[in-house]
Structure 1
Amino acid sequence: MKKLFVIIVLASLWITIGSCGTTKKQESVSKPIQKKIAHVEIETLIQDSTLNVRALEIDKKGIGSFALSNGQIGGIVKNPSELDTRLTFQLMHDSIVPNFRSLAVTNKAGFVLSIASPTLLYKINKDSLKLVYKETHPKAFYDAMDFWNDQEGIAIGDPTEDCMSIIITRDGGKTWTKLSCDNLPKAKEGEAAFAASDTNIAIVGDNTWVATGGKASRILYSHDKGKTWQVYNTPIIQGLETTGMYSIDFYDDKNGFAIGGDYTKPNDTLNNKIRTNDGGKTWQVVANGKGPGYRSCVQYVPNSNGKALVAVGFKGIDYSNDAGDSWTHLSDEGFYTIRFLNDSIAYAAGNGRISKLMFR
């Protein structure tokens, strides 16, 4: 009976996973919508004080999958009566309960990745769940994961040697290979990343940007799906273990935005928001000393011509209609991460809940 239940849950999660697509940047080709958001309405879908959700993906039908800090993976699916149903499955490796902070979906499978050591990366198919990567280095700590397409994916983590940890798959997630530090930029002292919202990686086509943070906060860039890498400096606040970029997003291959700060000083607004219009080579501080302080996730609003942004953190929700030059505080409701379904609806997750956000 237990085995049957697991298959039913995995099959249900497949409903969630199988239609999500392979890349976040699949914008509508329609004319960008130039509308200004005035407020946000929040509908709680799941509320549970035991939840800590930093990994969330939403498909085009508004059906979501999530991974939790308590080792559970789950989905919100429609049952025959059209009610939202939460399905979860508990994962354990021997006696270890994995803390999942990263989640990725393709048209073929879903993937969940844990922080800390041992690192555990699972692949989820329609009727199976398999551990496809394990790392036992005592410094192992993975922060984010994404895919270029159904076959090729990437996950990034803190340094275990003298470079950031990067693992890549080229066979649909069956096997993962850790890149040698000989082929990566050397990390600076105290440079790492934050597993705050699963948005340390941005992908547009073959282009990949990785945001680091801590005592040094830089951009690792690859134009060829992780085969070669360059590194770019940023002016974001850095110098302490708690400072730097926490989240990055790109609207196209030129225009990108990153946000962060210092989570121990969440109201500080200096040098915590930066923007690029040359593909990440150079960055400029925007809205300095104003707008949101520390935020853990930023995302472009679809169909906004790269002008509209929403940032979330445990201090609330903020919106910009001018590429980050000015901001409107929409809500004090706190979330860790957010994903857009379209230009008016998003889903957000955080401490104790997953919610639907409707922007008006």
Structure 2
Amino acid sequence: MRVLLVCFLMLNLSSCKSEEPEKRRNFSKVEIETLLQDSLLNVRALEIDGDGIVFATSNGEVGVRSFMLPSVINGIDSIILDEIAIKTIQLKHDSLIPNFRSLAITNKAGFLISISSPSLLYKVDKDSINLVYKETHEKAFYDSMDFWNDQEGIAIGDPTDNCMSIIITRDGGDTWTKLSCDDLPKAREGEAAFAASDTNISIVGDHTWVATGGKASRILYSPDKGKTWEVFDTPIIQGKETTGMYSVDFYDETNGFAIGGDYTKPNDTLNNKIRSIDGGKTWQVVANGKGPGYRSCVQYIPNSNAKKLVAIGFKGIDYSNDAGDTWKHLSDEGFYTIRFLNDSVAYAAGKGSISKLTFRE
């Protein structure tokens, strides 16, 4: 996060995201380098930007790990690991320590939202840390957050009424407004979402897809940055509180993939991986009875023409080079969430650790 990195480490950062022609490589292994290890660490929200990674923890902490050598950092009280600087701060609301599961970044600020009531949304910029939204409701539970641009962003959560909770900002995150259920698809009984990896939302341009889960697991879709919404059914396993989509990712406006299952039955491989080739309107079960069981996060590999995917969860890391039709299990090491730096390097976080993953042929 540019602003969080500036705030913590006084570094000027630039975006690293770019699109290049697909490199035709087939990965057969992954090298895992542990960057931060702590038995108390629990990270489900992770982002990469420029010269660092930003993470948020279940213990109210927001942290930055710089890729730069500490010699360029002056006067910062940082932990030094392998000649790399790590800086964390803990946020509190009165005596409450928030449990952060969602993190979003723009070019101007960073944002964190906690689960449970009261749900607390913080804006962090180079000058201050401000609580910009608070929701006190016994059913309040926010699962994921993302931004369309520097001014407009969205967070989604479980229903407090008869629709999914959706809050939107149009002023750079200074104020947030909760959408009325009159303007959203009605939730089905037992439909909610999972705060498992901060990947319930996928954004491509103005297009937005939200994955729900539980007794009903559907896709909420907006073509216009949250102004209008429709809903599409999916064939993923559903019907119990622990079933459904846990993660969704769209490569472009057409190609999308979602994964999940039932975390209480992590080895089950039936109906837990689905793919769309029409912008989320219809979905097809793939690799049924094969490939990974329950996984909490799936991401397209950059520059892969919507062919290469990595799925991650507490049961390990899996890779597909054919849009999810077949999968190769690369590691038993467990994580909750993953973000790609480029087409062969990613960063993953979970219970007890944050690691760098390098995918090799």
Structure 2 length-normalised TM: 0.93
Shift in alpha-carbon separation, 1:144–1:14, aligned structure 2, 3 A: farther
Does 1:71 find its partner at 2:71? Answer: no
- Is the Cα–Cα contact under 8 Å of residues 348 and 356 in structure 2 kept in the other structure? yes
- Is the Cα–Cα contact under 8 Å of residues 5 and 64 in structure 2 kept in the other structure? no
How far the C-alpha of 1:102 sits from its partner, in A, is 0.2
Does 1:85 find its partner at 2:85? Answer: yes
- Paired residue type of 2:170: R
1:198-235 deviations in Å (ceiling 9; x for gaps) = 00000000000000000000000000000000000000
1:26-37 paired onto structure 2 within 5 Å: 27-28=18-19, 30-37=20-27
Alignment partner for residue 48 of structure 1, among 38, 45, 54? 38
- Is the Cα–Cα contact under 8 Å of residues 4 and 109 in structure 2 kept in the other structure? no
- Is the Cα–Cα contact under 8 Å of residues 4 and 110 in structure 2 kept in the other structure? no
- Is the Cα–Cα contact under 8 Å of residues 306 and 323 in structure 2 kept in the other structure? yes
Q: SS of the residue aligned with 1:12?
A: helix
- Paired residue type of 2:243: T
Q: SS of the residue aligned with 2:70?
A: coil
Distance in 2 between the 1:105 and 1:150 partners?
A: 9
- Paired residue type of 2:331: S
Counterpart of 2:157 in structure 1 is 157
Q: SS of the residue aligned with 1:81?
A: helix
Distance in 2 between the 1:306 and 1:195 partners?
A: 25
- Is the Cα–Cα contact under 8 Å of residues 112 and 121 in structure 1 kept in the other structure? yes
Counterpart of 1:3 in structure 2 is none
- Is the Cα–Cα contact under 8 Å of residues 20 and 106 in structure 1 kept in the other structure? no
* Percent identity between the two aligned chains: 75
Counterpart of 1:246 in structure 2 is 246
Shift in alpha-carbon separation, 1:137–1:127, aligned structure 2, 3 A: same
Distance in 2 between the 1:268 and 1:8 partners?
A: 40
Counterpart of 1:194 in structure 2 is 194
- Is the Cα–Cα contact under 8 Å of residues 308 and 319 in structure 1 kept in the other structure? yes
1:127-152 deviations in Å (ceiling 9; x for gaps) = 21000000001100000000000000
- Is the Cα–Cα contact under 8 Å of residues 70 and 84 in structure 2 kept in the other structure? no
1:323-357 deviations in Å (ceiling 9; x for gaps) = 00000000000000000000010000000000000
Shift in alpha-carbon separation, 1:133–1:306, aligned structure 2, 3 A: same
- Paired residue type of 2:211: A
- Is the Cα–Cα contact under 8 Å of residues 320 and 328 in structure 1 kept in the other structure? yes
Does 1:331 find its partner at 2:331? Answer: yes
Name stretches of at least 5 consecutive residues in structure 1 with no aligned partner.
Answer: 1-6
How far the C-alpha of 1:11 sits from its partner, in A, is 1.7
1:339-354 paired onto structure 2 within 5 Å: 339-354=339-354
Counterpart of 1:206 in structure 2 is 206
How far the C-alpha of 1:9 sits from its partner, in A, is 8.5
- Paired residue type of 2:197: S
Distance in 2 between the 1:358 and 1:272 partners?
A: 26
1:301-326 deviations in Å (ceiling 9; x for gaps) = 00100000000000000000000000
Shift in alpha-carbon separation, 1:98–1:13, aligned structure 2, 3 A: farther
How far the C-alpha of 1:32 sits from its partner, in A, is 1.3
- Paired residue type of 2:57: L
- Is the Cα–Cα contact under 8 Å of residues 4 and 126 in structure 2 kept in the other structure? no
- Paired residue type of 1:275: R
Distance in 1 between the 2:11 and 2:219 partners?
A: 35
1:1-360 paired onto structure 2 within 5 Å: 11-12=7-8, 15=11, 19=14, 27-28=18-19, 30-61=20-51, 63-77=52-66, 78-81=68-71, 83-360=83-360
Distance in 1 between the 2:272 and 2:4 partners?
A: 45
- Is the Cα–Cα contact under 8 Å of residues 102 and 114 in structure 2 kept in the other structure? yes
How far the C-alpha of 1:81 sits from its partner, in A, is 3.2
Name stretches of at least 5 consecutive residues in structure 2 with no aligned partner.
Answer: 73-82
Structure 1 length-normalised TM: 0.94
Distance in 2 between the 1:111 and 1:15 partners?
A: 19
Distance in 1 between the 2:4 and 2:359 partners?
A: 35
Shift in alpha-carbon separation, 1:57–1:178, aligned structure 2, 3 A: same
- Paired residue type of 2:329: H
- Is the Cα–Cα contact under 8 Å of residues 276 and 284 in structure 1 kept in the other structure? yes
Q: SS of the residue aligned with 2:64?
A: strand
